[in-house]
Amino acid sequence: MQTVGIIGGSGFIGSYITKIFLEENYKVKVSSTDIKNKSKYEHLLTLTNAENLEMVPLDVRDKKVLQDFVKGCEIVVHAGTPFILDVKDPQKELFEPTVQGTRNFLDVISKFPDLKKVVIVASVAAWNTSFPLNPATHSADHIFTEQDKPYMSGDDHPYAQAKFLADQEVRKFINEHPDLPFEITSVSPTFVIGNSLSNRTDSTSGGMQYLLKNKIAANPFVEMLFATDTKFSMIDVRDVAEAVFQAATTKGLHGKNYIIANESYKVSDISLMLNNQPPLNEAAIVYDSSLAKKDLGIAFIAAKETLNHCV
């Protein structure tokens, strides 16, 4: 039985990643920033094959603890960076755990030659920090692919900047270590939607779905979405988990960073579909996932289907 370590494996996306590895008969080691707070991960204890699950305390800023976490794993998935929109201290809340945490993670895994695969859950911000808007340097009808040069602006949201910079650390690490004994593959999802596996109410993704459904502009980012009625690319959380699993178990993907995206709808249409009403406009493709579909063999769930079943 192979062991996979999943950093952030009890979060919104991470829980689905944990679920799929357990179902595929892996021994799964999941990190928790607060192991005493069982409410953060108790939903994992009811999953199929949960007897093969181990919960471990971890702070990615602590290299020694991170080394202990990676030890004994054939596969490591890093899905543990914070997703926060209402930020008071960007340096402490986002840049330190995301960018410095990624540096620490990369330094630690370089010391484990027995690793087989590392998968990093990045973000569409690795390609465009202005998401869901197109950068001023791109045309309004531009379709993003993995051939695009990554774009970053210091004026964009700190979360997007942190994810961009973290991915740049990964690119730099891969270039500086051409003879790694294991593969590193990244997946970069757009806005992740779907139902949570837990009853927690602190998920930013779930909160965003609630705000869009009820047309509540609770922060400047959501206010911008409603004001521009921009085309917003989405992806089902189950597809993200499947992409991670396939990236972790498929050879020959070293160094790739896959855009994981589905159709884009206007924000007003997303609100309608979250209320089980039909959209007024056709879907568009703004972020192309053809490469992920080809290499990872995934047939993505239609955004309309996901939105109509979101709680």
Q: Could you tell me the pTM of the whole model?
A: 0.95
In a domain, 311, yes or no: no
In a domain, 87, yes or no: yes
Neighbours of 194 (CB within 10 A): 25
Tell me how far apart the alpha carbons of residues 33 and 119 are, in angstroms, rounded to a whole number. Answer: 20
In a domain, 92, yes or no: yes
Tell me how far apart the alpha carbons of residues 57 and 66 are, in angstroms, rounded to a whole number. Answer: 10
Q: In the predicted model, what is the mean pLDDT of residues 83-93?
A: 88
Tell me how far apart the alpha carbons of residues 240 and 193 are, in angstroms, rounded to a whole number. Answer: 10
Tell me the pLDDT tens digit for each residue of 133-180: 999 899 989 999 999 999 999 999 999 999 999 999 999 999 999 999
Tell me the pLDDT tens digit for each residue of 262-287: 999 999 999 999 999 999 999 999 99
Cβ 60 vs Cβ 97: under 8 Å: yes
The CATH number given to whatever domain includes residue 59 is 3.40.50.720
Length of the chain: 311
What is the per-residue pLDDT for 40? 87
Among the listed residues 51, 52, 57, 44, the one whose alpha carbon sits nearest the alpha carbon of residue 17:
44
DSSP of 218-270, one letter per residue?
Answer: -SHHHHHHHHHT-EEEEEEHHHHHHHHHHHHH-SS-TT-EEEE---EEEHHHH
Which tokens in the block code for residue 229? 């009625």
Tell me how far apart the alpha carbons of residues 162 and 95 are, in angstroms, rounded to a whole number. Answer: 5
Tell me the pLDDT tens digit for each residue of 186-239: 999 999 999 999 987 778 888 899 999 999 988 888 999 999 999 999 999 999
Tell me how far apart the alpha carbons of residues 264 and 254 are, in angstroms, rounded to a whole number. Answer: 28
In a domain, 107, yes or no: yes
Tell me how far apart the alpha carbons of residues 237 and 7 are, in angstroms, rounded to a whole number. Answer: 17
Q: Which domain holds residue 175?
A: 3-194+234-261+287-298
Neighbours of 208 (CB within 10 A): 22
Q: What share of the chain is helix, strand, coil (3-state, %, to 5)?
A: 40, 15, 40
Per-residue pLDDT band at 33 (split at 50, 70, 90)? confident
Tell me how far apart the alpha carbons of residues 56 and 38 are, in angstroms, rounded to a whole number. Answer: 12
Q: Which residue has the higher pLDDT, 298 or 200?
A: 298
Q: In the predicted model, what is the mean pLDDT of residues 4-16?
A: 96
In a domain, 203, yes or no: no
In a domain, 74, yes or no: yes
Q: How many domains does the chain have?
A: 1
In a domain, 309, yes or no: no
Residue whose pair of structure tokens reads 């699993």 in the numeric block: 245
In a domain, 188, yes or no: yes
